[in-house]
Structure 1
Amino acid sequence: MFYLSPVARNLLIANVVVFLLSNFLNQNYITQQFAFFNPILPGTPDLLNPNFKIWQPFTYMFMHGSLGHLLSNMFALLIFGSGIETFFGSKRFLIYYLITGVGASFIYSFVNMYDMLQFSPDSEVYWALASIPMVGASGAIFGILIAYAYLFPNNELIIFPFPVPIKAKYLVGFYALYELYAGIQGSSMGIAHFAHVGGLLVGFILLRFFGFGKARY
């Protein structure tokens, strides 16, 4: 459980270091530069969001809004990351992690643009949706979860506080349905449920159609 493979270890360290630095430095500046903002402002003449920077789809996944947010993501990386890295190999694992994180940001962006289109660009709600940044490794972490369920579907896991073991394929499947339901219902404000769904979806596509589901040679 507490063995960390090289890339998983470095990702964990990077997330912790960025979190600590962002709390010591100017948080507003760090957020404006490195959190993910929707790149498109639908229905406006300019279309492009001035808050968006080309590097944000990569940098946002190393930022976290709170200690609890950081700990939950890093705990999942600790538990599942090394097993997936051992199966993939370090290089392929890093590529997979980054692609699922970037993919999650853009799927979240599409949903966010759909929500924005329900309001006039002159409304406060429209600009509130446009100015809310997204941070966190959750999209990439959900990519790791779907990889674990895809590669080791019958491995049994025990989730605190429930003492009954459940197979990985059922646990992640139920989790995916919950995230989809919560995203549609708009529950748990402040949580980007569709970024989680995006990480799962992009991860599944990579596993099923791009060879990531095959063991390294």
Structure 2
Amino acid sequence: MNYSPQGFTVLPPVVKNLLFLNVGVFIVGFILQMMYQYDISDALGLHYIGSKGFKPIQFISYMFLHANLEHIFFNMFALWMFGNILENFWGPKRFFTYYMATGIGAGIIQMIVAYIRIQSIQSQVPADVLEVIYTEGVDILRQNKNFIAPLYAELNAIVNVSTVGASGAVFGLLMAFGMLFPNSYIYLFFALPIKAKWFVLGYGVLELFSGIRNTPGDNVAHFAHLGGMVFGYILIQYWRRKGTYL
């Protein structure tokens, strides 16, 4: 191992700054929503690349937005829980690189899955409806409305509902923890011990199953979670082959 941390820190700098940034953006977004009815995810959430709301910077900015208090709480708890161990192990530069790479990777996978699903649906949707979805669909959703036909409604949601959250990067951290500390115990519900390697494997299978099942009303980006894990696995294997650690 080429890197040796200079003592363990409970709240290392990158984790601390990420926590502050995520919470700060959440508070700003809440204030804008309450005072001006402006949804910050319209500008910074990750939109489908074919929608009128897409901007390349969203591959980064979406990681710092969260849908609600529960969403940000569990993501930030996991960021602290796994991130403080990994940053102490890797150091701040490598940890930050890994975190951003897995978050961006999760967004890329989410975009690919959305593209595949859209291509399978579009052929079943009339051209005039497609035009409405791509030009006016986001305005329809802002009024808390959608198409009555389930297929049209699904396509409109895929094209015009943005993805938000640090979950992809957090799942990348989970993958790293499982690979680097496979026999460490994670306590489910703070009581049931399970080895990290089995927890990661089980969670990955669950996310894959949930993503394939595609339950109506399920707003969780399961394939983005898997994308964070996949990019994390690839990056760690790359570092191992280079011999930069372990």
Give the TM-score normalised by the residue count of structure 2.
Answer: 0.79
Cα deviation 1:86-113 (Å, max 9, x = unaligned): 1111011111101100010010111111
Supply the distance in 1 between the matched residues of 2:224 and 2:234 (Cα, whole angstroms): 15
- In structure 2, the partner of 1:133 is 162
Structure 1 residue runs of 5 or longer lacking an equivalent are 41-48
SS at match of 1:64: coil
C-alpha RMSD of matched pairs (Å)? 2.2
- In structure 2, the partner of 1:205 is 234
Checking the alignment, whether the CA contact within 8 Å between 2:9 and 2:88 is kept in structure 1 is: no
CA-CA distance at 1:164 after TM superposition: 2.9
- In structure 1, the partner of 2:200 is 172
Supply the distance in 1 between the matched residues of 2:47 and 2:82 (Cα, whole angstroms): 29
Cα deviation 1:5-64 (Å, max 9, x = unaligned): 110011011000000000001464521110000113xxxxxxxx2210111000000000
CA-CA distance at 1:212 after TM superposition: 9.2
SS at match of 2:52: coil
Identity %: 38
Supply the distance in 2 between the matched residues of 1:156 and 1:209 (Cα, whole angstroms): 26
Supply the distance in 1 between the matched residues of 2:96 and 2:241 (Cα, whole angstroms): 12
Checking the alignment, whether the CA contact within 8 Å between 1:2 and 1:78 is kept in structure 2 is: no
Checking the alignment, whether the CA contact within 8 Å between 2:179 and 2:197 is kept in structure 1 is: yes
Checking the alignment, whether the CA contact within 8 Å between 1:151 and 1:213 is kept in structure 2 is: no
Cα deviation 1:72-94 (Å, max 9, x = unaligned): 00010111101101111101111
CA-CA distance at 1:192 after TM superposition: 0.3
Residue type at the aligned position of 2:17:
N
Q: Following superposition of structure 1 onto structure 2, how do residues 104-119 of structure 1 map, counting pairs within 5 Å?
A: 104-119=106-121
Supply the distance in 1 between the matched residues of 2:195 and 2:80 (Cα, whole angstroms): 19
Give the TM-score normalised by the residue count of structure 1.
Answer: 0.89
- In structure 2, the partner of 1:44 is none
- Kindly tell me: are residues 16 and 137 of structure 1, through their superposed partners in 2, closer, same or farther at Cα, counting changes over 3 Å? same
- In structure 1, the partner of 2:42 is 32
Bigger Rg, which one: 2
Supply the distance in 2 between the matched residues of 1:174 and 1:111 (Cα, whole angstroms): 22
- In structure 2, the partner of 1:149 is 178
Supply the distance in 2 between the matched residues of 1:128 and 1:111 (Cα, whole angstroms): 14
- Mapped pair 1:13 → 2:23: no
Structure 2 residue runs of 5 or longer lacking an equivalent are 1-7, 131-151
